[in-house]
Structure 1
Amino acid sequence: MIQHLSDRDILKQLYMTQLLVIMVSAAAVLFFFQNISDFFSLWHIRDTRIIWYGVSLAVIVVLADMAIMKWCPSHLYDDGGINKKLFSKRPIPHIIFLTLLISFAEEMLFRGVLQTHIGLWAASIVFAVLHFRYLTKWLLFIMVTAISFLLGLIYEWTGNLFVPVTAHFIIDAVFACQIRFEHVRRDTHDEHV
């Protein structure tokens, strides 16, 4: 099915999905929080734990994912080609924008709203299940559940949504840029052959 979607269709679906996540988050904030300032109090931009916890977690996850990609057969971590189709021809500034949008939207909903009100485990499981394209791939499902739990854990430890947003952004941006660079390298290699 992914192969039949155009680049524009996939991009449109991504933007619509993230807009939906933001709208659901906004509605949930109004419903679950007594006061909007309670939600905004979860964001602390000058917190050095953004670097210590957020960046450190991202580095650990990226290294673990790279090890899995190196030592496991590719069919175990193949997502059906959606990430490759989405990021392989996308300019780097657009990749950065997309991964920032995704990390803010998803962390606002899953950590800021859900985890704050239903707990770490429930929010992590909901996060993993809503990444439904991974449900039939056991390794990807375990990986996304573990990453969600780790993002939730650093949010629990810090109480600062910028920490998991930073980690989520770096993880997504590194892998999206890796897809882009592999595509460029393959095209360059094909031109020289």
Structure 2
Amino acid sequence: MKNKQAELINQLSDKELLYNLVLTQIILLTISFFLGIILFKDYSAFFDLFHLGDIRIITIGLPIGILVVLYDLFMMKVTPARFHDDGGINERIFSSLSSPMIIVVTFLIAFCEEVLFRGVLQTHIGLVWTSIIFAVVHYRYLFNWYLFVNVMMLSFGLGWLYEETRNLWIVITAHFVIDMLLGLIIRKKNRKGCLT
């Protein structure tokens, strides 16, 4: 199954890969919209999950995102490279994007995923089931035990953060910082590799 996925990914151009990534996020947001209509009693119950003026967005969301990236970078240094192999998808996506586009794309990912998983699902089915669904949706990690454990831990961590703060913007910020910094690091590493 993993080889079939890798073949499929290799057949896509960088532009098609980005298109599919963005389309997936739009699908997640659409699912959030329809589930939200069904599960929330009214619009205000959903919008009450967002508190933009909360200082914890900066004091908690930002540092947690940075700490997760530092942990990930440390683990990349002390574990074999095969542990971090997602089939080259992240390298393909982030190497082909400009830095501003990485910021836009990773914000879109963080926003769409957290609205669905923490905002809609976790609010209604709880932390455990939401974390399992989050990990399974990140399909390419199912074939690498290390990445699967990482995505499960990240999902439980983001879920716990939401349980503690009850503010989606804090969780979106942490998720965004993680994806953005790792995306920029991948881009820089691959650009440097192209120059040598």
Short-chain TM bin:
over 0.9
Alignment partners' CA distance in 2, 1:54 and 1:30: 28
Partner of residue 147, structure 1:
154
Give TM-score scaled by structure 1 length.
0.96
The equivalent position to 2:26 in structure 1, one of 16, 19, 22, is 19
Find runs of 4+ consecutive structure 1 residues off by over 2 angstroms. none
Alignment partners' CA distance in 1, 2:145 and 2:166: 31
How far off its partner does 1:69 sit?
0.5
The equivalent position to 2:37 in structure 1, one of 30, 36, 39, is 30
Partner of residue 69, structure 1:
76
The equivalent position to 2:172 in structure 1, one of 165, 178, 183, is 165
Structure 2 residue 50 is the aligned partner of structure 1 residue 43: yes
Alignment partners' CA distance in 1, 2:96 and 2:113: 24
Partner of residue 62, structure 2:
55
Percent identity over paired residues: 46
Code of the residue aligned with 1:67 in structure 2: it is: F
Unaligned runs of 5+ in 1: none
How far off its partner does 1:52 sit?
2.1
Give the count of matched residue pairs.
189
Do the aligned partners of 1:89 and 1:183 also contact (CA within 8 Å) in 2?
Answer: no
Question: Secondary structure of 1:46's match?
Answer: coil
How far off its partner does 1:124 sit?
0.7
Code of the residue aligned with 1:71 in structure 2: it is: V
Alignment partners' CA distance in 1, 2:75 and 2:157: 17
Code of the residue aligned with 2:73 in structure 1: it is: M
How far off its partner does 1:188 sit?
2.1
Partner of residue 10, structure 1:
17
Do the aligned partners of 1:87 and 1:176 also contact (CA within 8 Å) in 2?
Answer: yes
Question: Secondary structure of 1:43's match?
Answer: coil
Code of the residue aligned with 2:76 in structure 1: it is: M
How far off its partner does 1:123 sit?
0.6
Moved more, 43-52 or 101-110: 43-52
The equivalent position to 1:177 in structure 2, one of 164, 171, 184, is 184
Alignment partners' CA distance in 1, 2:53 and 2:157: 22
Question: Secondary structure of 1:61's match?
Answer: helix
Structure 2 residue 139 is the aligned partner of structure 1 residue 132: yes
Question: Secondary structure of 2:77's match?
Answer: helix
Structure 2 residue 95 is the aligned partner of structure 1 residue 88: yes
Alignment partners' CA distance in 1, 2:22 and 2:62: 26
Do the aligned partners of 1:53 and 1:154 also contact (CA within 8 Å) in 2?
Answer: no
How far off its partner does 1:185 sit?
1.0
Alignment partners' CA distance in 2, 1:89 and 1:108: 27
